[in-house]
Structure 1
Amino acid sequence: MAGVSGFKKMNWAPKQSAWEEMQAARAKRRQNMEDFMARSNALAAGFQRAATLQIQGIGELAAQNAQARLQAKAKEMQAELEAKFASISKLV
């Protein structure tokens, strides 16, 4: 038993050659770079969409504000015309 206790591992699987290790490391780096680029592109697209939505929201708020001003002005003009018509109809 004394001789068996000195083994740390059995080494049943053959080791890769240096060339195979380099190829595996190169493939792993390539995959990591592709994953990073995909995540970066997704992040950039998300920020671009958020900016677009924010600009659209600002545009919609501006349009609603302008519409409210126009409606208020139209009501004011309508009230003026009704007042003028009422004064003219009293004369006739």
Structure 2
Amino acid sequence: MEVARKSMNWMPKQSAYKVAAQAAAKRRTMVAEFQAKNSALASSLSTTFINNLMGSVDNARQTAIDRIQAQVKEKQDALNKTMDSINMLA
């Protein structure tokens, strides 16, 4: 006795071409999403690097300004001291 297999086949099977086209469309979507995420990551990393570099430049600039201002103050103090001693002699 042989058992026969029956199926209702209510839904028709999709063609191999349609299945392949859907898979290709899904892969294209995934690639586009990956590229968008990768681009956003690269942009944020470059922005972070530039901001870090600008912070270093600002720190170096401020250090140079502070050093120059200290030198100017020393020279002003020395000049004021000289002027005070000249005024005392006069």
What's the TM-score, normalizing by structure 2? 0.86
**Paired residue for 1:16?**
14
How far is 1:14 from its partner? 2.7
**Paired residue for 2:26?**
28
How far is 1:53 from its partner? 0.2
> Structure 2 CA distance, aligned partners of 1:60 and 1:72?
18
**Paired residue for 2:74?**
76
Identity of aligned residues (%): 37
Q: Which runs of 4+ in 1 moved over 3 A?
A: 9-13
How far is 1:12 from its partner? 3.8
Two-structure CA RMSD over aligned residues (Å): 1.9
Residue 80 of structure 2 aligns to which amino acid in structure 1? E
20 and 75 in structure 1: CA distance in 2 versus 1, 3 angstrom threshold: same
Deviations 1:62-83 (A, max 9, x none): 0110111011111101100001
46 and 18 in structure 1: CA distance in 2 versus 1, 3 angstrom threshold: same
Tell me how many residue pairs correspond in the alignment: 86
> Structure 1 CA distance, aligned partners of 2:32 and 2:81?
73
> Structure 2 CA distance, aligned partners of 1:82 and 1:50?
47
How far is 1:90 from its partner? 1.1
23 and 90 in structure 1: CA distance in 2 versus 1, 3 angstrom threshold: same
* Structure 1 portions without partners, runs of 5+: 1-5
What's the TM-score, normalizing by structure 1? 0.85
